[in-house]
Copies of this chain bind each other. A is one copy, B any other.
């Protein structure tokens, strides 16, 4: 098996090295990671400046490249330059992200943007995130589950256009639950400050407001109970329910 890995915390973040270690139990791993933090980069692409790709390490089971682009750039560039249509990776694995990507965070996450990118190219893709932003986060509880879950997903029939968003709470884990994306949004998002020249500036901050605190089938609900969550994520964003009610817009 050939596994392509990236993340959005950059090559220096411990999470990607833990993931590369796990995935080497399944096959050969190629890491193409951003050269620094790219959190919150979503599916952003670098269109107005050139990309660089530098080989950093090579062993029989692992090749590591560093790229100056976004997580989605890393996957695009790897698929275009390191592979070809007859020789694609069997799996794109992203993360392990330092910080949760549950609920609406899926649309902002560079980790999930990269997983979606593998999915667009028809490759089985899984993003992994741990609910702890710290660089010294403890991934040990999560590790055994990642290998087991990846093997099970590899054995599934996954249709074109669906990838997986896997999140783990901190501390001891009770098991794995399949869940849907929780509704909610970030509030109190900016801290306003004034610079020494009297001009205002704003730091992004905020807290997550769960809009479905009574639901028991969302990723947030299961994470709060100590379970790893798996959300199947569709890159076809069409709202098919509403589509049939919109004919009156046609002229």
Contacts and interface: CB of A to CB of B under 8 A. Distances in A.
A113 interface: yes
B232 A234 contact: no
A238 B233 contact: yes
A97 interface: no
A50 to B, nearest CB: 4
A159 B234 contact: no
A185 B120 contact: yes
Dominant secondary structure of chain A at its interface with chain B: mixed
Contact of A148 (B120, B177, B251): B251
Interface in A200-228: 200-204
Interface string A22-48: 000000000000000101111111111
A6 interface: no
Interface stretch (A56-64, A88-96, A100-108): A100-108
Interface stretch (A12-20, A75-83, A135-143): A75-83
A74 to B, nearest CB: 12
Interface string A94-131: 00000000001011100001001000110000000000
Nearest to A166: B249
Contacts of A235: 104, 107, 237
Contact of A185 (B40, B73, B121, B148): B121
A176 B81 contact: no
B178 A246 contact: yes
Interface residues of A, number: 81
A112 to B, nearest CB: 9
B116 A53 contact: no
Contact of A233 (B149, B158, B237, B246): B237
A175 interface: yes
Given A39-B47, A202-B53, A246 B234 contact: no
B50 A46 contact: no
A169 interface: no
B42 A113 contact: yes
Contacts of A234: 237-239
A53 B203 CA distance: 12
Contacts of A42: 41-45, 72, 113
Given A80-B188, A153-B249, A231-B237, 9 more contacts: A40-B46, A45-B108, A45-B204, A50-B203, A51-B204, A76-B189, A76-B190, A77-B189, A104-B120
